Amino acid sequence: MAAASEIQTVNIIVNGIELAVPKGELVVESVKRLGFDIPIFCYHPRLKPVGMCRMCLVMTGAKQPDGTIRMFPKPAAACTMPVSEGLVVDTESDQVKRDRKGVLEFLLVNHPLDCPICDRGGECPLQNNTIFYGPSTSRFIEMKRHAPKAFPLSEYVTLDLERCIQCARCVRFTEEISGDSQLAFRFRGADTQPITFAETKFTSKFSGNVIEICPVGALTSRKYRFRARPWDLVSSEAICTNCSAGCSVWFDHRGGKFARINGRTNEAINEEWTCDRGKFGHAHSNDDKRLASTFTREGNELVKSDWSSVSAQILAEFKGRGNEAGLILGHGVSNEGAWNALKFFREHVGSQNIDHRFEKNSPVSKTAHAGNSIASFEGAKSILVFGTSLADDLPMLYLRVRKAWFQKKAKIVVATDSASEVDDFAQVVLRYKKGTGAALAEALRSGEELEKVAETSGVDLADLKAAVELSKGAPIVTSTGIYDEKGSEQIVASLSSLAQATEGSFNCYARGANERGLQLMGAAPGSEGLNTQQILAAAANGNLRALWLIGVDLFSTGLDRDLVSRALENVEFLVVQDSSRTETFYYSSVAVPMTLPAESDGSFTNMEGTVQELRAAIPAPGDAKPVWRVFEELSMRLAPRMPNMQARDVLESIPALAR
């Protein structure tokens, strides 16, 4: 085991207190170690320091050989000054206090002071710093600048230019973190404004982060605008379930209704960032189409029913049905819900027709490859991305891969059949023709017949040779979306062999919220069972009598619509268990409401295999129940026993997820 590298430290003095800190650390970070506060606006610990706002000015000096202290005549920006041996810092001198008041007075010269109607009010750094460090009254009586209010910068972001203090946090985020560089400062002087170059729509897939890092109310959410105040909200710790990353977030709610999502710090997964799909994709909690009661079919109509009647119908149709019944699970079903459903189907229905996969070429193997944690990619020297659009399929991994390139100079190889965001910073881009991915993957593995493969796949021969070298020992990344490609199993086999032969790692990451958990629990057909497409084909042909769908709208999975429609029309008995009245809902024989993740306790397994637990934040609507509880109650009717009373009881009984 290699010894940990020794951290070099230097001795400094902060407000008369001696302190040893890492060499090269910024003064603004060193001061935090003692609990002292340095007000900031432009500084952000995950962005490069620029020293633009001057709010963090401190007096500095140096300890002389004779022990005396010589202070420098001018203040320095704490966010750009690295510490050195003997540095002396004073954060509370009279000069510093005057400087802070002066900076804030300048910043407020053109600020509209519209805190009562600003969405940032109550959690605004400018507001807080003005109260703690600013002047008590304003000397400015002249006319302030005016600009169009609530300019729609994008579908999600509103720009209120009058409030902007030109800290450049938003601009730097798009340049350094998301990498799309869509925002920039245009014009000069009082007209300076952050906006897209050609004043087009701000289309970044991570645009919501600029709202959170803006230290004033210049950038606000169009989805949250005027909906609540911070003191009206209850913030619950949660995880995002809109992709497989499992980002840590704050689920803010008011009066039992969802209000907004903000990023929550988790260095192992999302640091503090969110993608737009996660930040703005939870409004369905308040949707008018929520399924809140049970329904049963009477003729051509679905009429409201009750759990007792519906449960009796379900048991009559599914008990002992064997392989005449099928189960298809959505990726948003919790570990506990999926496990109880699997047990019910295997023990009481006797069916092996169970699946959760919707790709064209479902793999035979029930396991997924996930050898690397999300955070581990920061230390990689080279990375191969194959057959997936990271920003779409694995957004948090995309940010880590870009960070590895931006901060650590990692060399990235990307091989896809269409353009993606990774192309912008990749060392080598292999754009192969559709259907030739298997040949290209095998060429990367073997290093043979490169000229022939380059010709057939359409990639540049020199790029292919470079990719062969850079891929040796590199972590390889793809997603389960690869199984929609022709020759997908061969692609996976070749990439896996490449990683094994060169001491690299192969990662075929899940894309759905709990897809990894479903893989680990074996939510796939047995040796005599049918996969998703076979289940639907059997239902369409009248060979499947009963079908249960949990948390999935088959019409939105990318499956053939005609096959889905015929299957739902021809199956004798269809149970739809979902949170909304989807297109599939209207085909159901029985429909039962399920809770959303924020409405019940449960756990989800993210793309790297980390099991994260959730606690209910808001009440479930109407008669909605957690999936695990529904199957617990059905099982109890068939085989009375001591029930599991809580979701955690079920989690602890799942061998594949033992912790």
Task: Count the domains in the chain.
Answer: 3
Domain boundary among 463, 478, 509: 509
Q: What is the DSSP letter of 352?
A: -
* Length, in residues, of the chain: 659
Domain assignment present for residue 198? The answer is no
What amino acid is encoded at 511 in this protein? R
CATH value at residue 237: 2.20.25.90
- Do residues 390 and 474 share a domain? yes
Domain boundary among 450, 476, 509: 509
Domain assignment present for residue 531? The answer is yes
Domain assignment present for residue 93? The answer is no
- Do residues 634 and 535 share a domain? yes
- Do residues 488 and 597 share a domain? no
Name the 3-class secondary structure at 556: helix
Q: Which among 378, 490, 382, 478 is positioned nearest to 442, based on CA atoms?
A: 490
Domain assignment present for residue 271? The answer is yes
- Do residues 388 and 497 share a domain? yes
Cβ within 8 Å of residue 322, ≥6 positions away:
349, 350, 351
Alpha-carbon gap, residue 365 to 524, rounded angstroms: 9
- Do residues 262 and 341 share a domain? no
Across the 659 residues of the chain, what is the mean pLDDT of every consecutive 10-residue run?
Answer: 67 94 95 94 96 94 88 94 94 94 92 92 94 89 86 94 94 96 89 86 95 96 93 96 96 95 96 96 90 94 95 95 95 97 95 94 66 93 96 97 96 96 96 95 94 95 96 95 93 95 94 95 88 96 96 95 97 97 96 96 96 95 96 94 92 83
Domain assignment present for residue 87? The answer is no
- Do residues 522 and 650 share a domain? yes
Domain boundary among 486, 509, 532: 509
Alpha-carbon gap, residue 130 to 124, rounded angstroms: 10
Q: Which among 591, 523, 102 is positioned nearest to 331, based on CA atoms?
A: 523
- Do residues 482 and 524 share a domain? no
How are beta strands 9-14 and 87-90 bridged, if at all?
Answer: parallel
CA angle 35/37/38 to nearest 5° reads 140
- What is the pLDDT at residue 2? 43
- Do residues 404 and 441 share a domain? yes
Q: Give Cα separations from 272 to 19, 44, 106, 166, 210 (angstroms).
A: 29, 12, 31, 22, 12
- Do residues 249 and 312 share a domain? no
- Do residues 418 and 470 share a domain? yes
| Gyration radius of the chain over CA positions | 29
Domain assignment present for residue 45? The answer is no
- Do residues 627 and 533 share a domain? yes
Domain assignment present for residue 447? The answer is yes
CATH value at residue 451: 3.40.228.10
Alpha-carbon gap, residue 512 to 246, rounded angstroms: 10
Structure tokens at 452: 């022939």
Alpha-carbon gap, residue 560 to 65, rounded angstroms: 79
- Do residues 454 and 548 share a domain? no
Structure tokens at 656: 């594949």
Alpha-carbon gap, residue 8 to 437, rounded angstroms: 48
Alpha-carbon gap, residue 518 to 331, rounded angstroms: 8
Cβ within 8 Å of residue 388, ≥6 positions away:
394, 416, 477, 478, 479, 481, 482
Q: What crossing angle do the helices spanning 94-107 and 125-133 adopt, rounded to 10°? A: 140
CA atoms lying within 13 Å on the CB side of residue 103: 26
For residue 637, the surrounding DSSP H or E stretch is helix 627-638
Domain assignment present for residue 459? The answer is yes
Alpha-carbon gap, residue 328 to 215, rounded angstroms: 46
Cβ within 8 Å of residue 587, ≥6 positions away:
568, 569, 574, 576
Q: What is the DSSP letter of 202?
A: -
Distance, first Cα to last Cα, the chain? 25
Q: Give Cα separations from 334 to 87, 480, 599, 626, 650 (angstroms).
A: 53, 19, 12, 9, 11
Instruction: Give the range of the structural domain holding residue 451, as residue numbers without chain letter.
Output: 375-509
Structure tokens at 129: 């710093």
CATH value at residue 581: 3.40.50.740
Structure tokens at 528: 């005599």
